[in-house]
């Protein structure tokens, strides 16, 4: 069977046009969507990711609030910033750019975000909702993959889906979302023996392992 490569850039462009139209409607109703992004430290990759998010906001007409704080900022100060943003009516979504410095408890910080502003879907309330198919915000990357699959017209139900990578950000939530679609899901990870024996059986292969050339013909 010939592999089908999906054009994510084309879908992203189409979605941004749709989002901008929806934002314009909201603005006529007196609501300007606002996204706050918190960056702790000066990780080069994180700066690029944050820059991309700010650019996406600009393209869609969303107001972005960029909060960059030093790497030695205390956990208490980060939590205080989140508390202020939770109460700010101009902020409708809050993102914490990961990773955080080692002296900050990631889970405590993520749990501090108001559930209805947790647009990354990392709060335990939203994570738990994935199990029963009822979450306010699904995690962004798995949701993006789901949208990409929908563009192919392939019916996910009954398909053998193999996910390579078992992170809390992509692999695990992706598996839960596909189970809700009645796919047969296999999750492979660093301890999986003979990876190729699993991937060769996949009708749909999703890879989020951060290792180049992990999958070969």
Sorted by sequence, the CB contacts under 8 Å of residue 136 that are 6+ apart come out as 115, 116, 118, 121, 125, 126, 129
Instruction: Spot the catalytic one: 117, 118, 120, 172.
Output: 120
Checking 121-125 for CB contacts under 8 A at 24+ apart, the result is 121/173, 122/96, 122/168, 122/169
Residue 145: φ, ψ to 5°:
-60, -40
Q: Catalytic: 53?
A: yes
C-beta of residue 96 within 8 angstroms of C-beta of residue 120: yes
Instruction: Spot the catalytic one: 4, 53, 88, 105.
Output: 53
Instruction: Spot the catalytic one: 4, 55, 77, 97.
Output: 97
Collapsed DSSP state (helix, strand, coil) of residue 129: helix
Q: Catalytic: 72?
A: no
Helix 44-60 to helix 8-28 angle, to the nearest 10 degrees?
50
Tokens of 109: 């910080």
Q: Catalytic: 97?
A: yes
Residues facing 188 on adjacent strands: 164
Residues marked as catalytic: 53, 97, 120
């Amino acid at each position: 069977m010939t592999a089908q490569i999906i054009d994510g850039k084309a879908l992203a462009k189409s979605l941004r046009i749709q989002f901008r139209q929806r934002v314009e409607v909201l603005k006529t109703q007196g609501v300007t969507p606002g996204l706050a992004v918190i960056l702790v430290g000066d990780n080069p990759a994180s700066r690029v990711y944050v820059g991309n998010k700010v650019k996406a906001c600009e393209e869609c007409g969303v107001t972005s609030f960029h909060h960059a704080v030093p790497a030695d900022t205390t956990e208490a100060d980060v939590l205080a910033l989140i508390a202020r943003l939770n109460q700010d009516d101009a902020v409708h979504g809050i993102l914490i750019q990961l990773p955080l410095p080692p002296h900050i408890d990631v889970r405590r910080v993520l749990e501090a975000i108001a559930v209805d502003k947790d647009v990354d879907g990392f709060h335990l309330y939203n994570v738990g909702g994935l199990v029963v198919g009822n979450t306010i915000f699904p995690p962004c990357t798995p949701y993006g993959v789901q949208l990409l699959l929908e563009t192919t017209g392939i019916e996910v139900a009954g398909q053998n889906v193999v996910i390579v990578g078992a992170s809390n950000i992509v692999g695990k939530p992706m598996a839960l979302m596909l189970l809700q679609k009645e796919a047969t899901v296999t999750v492979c990870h660093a301890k999986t023996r003979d990876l190729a024996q699993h991937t060769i059986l996949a009708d749909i292969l999703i890879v989020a392992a951060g290792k180049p050339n992990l999958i070969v013909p």
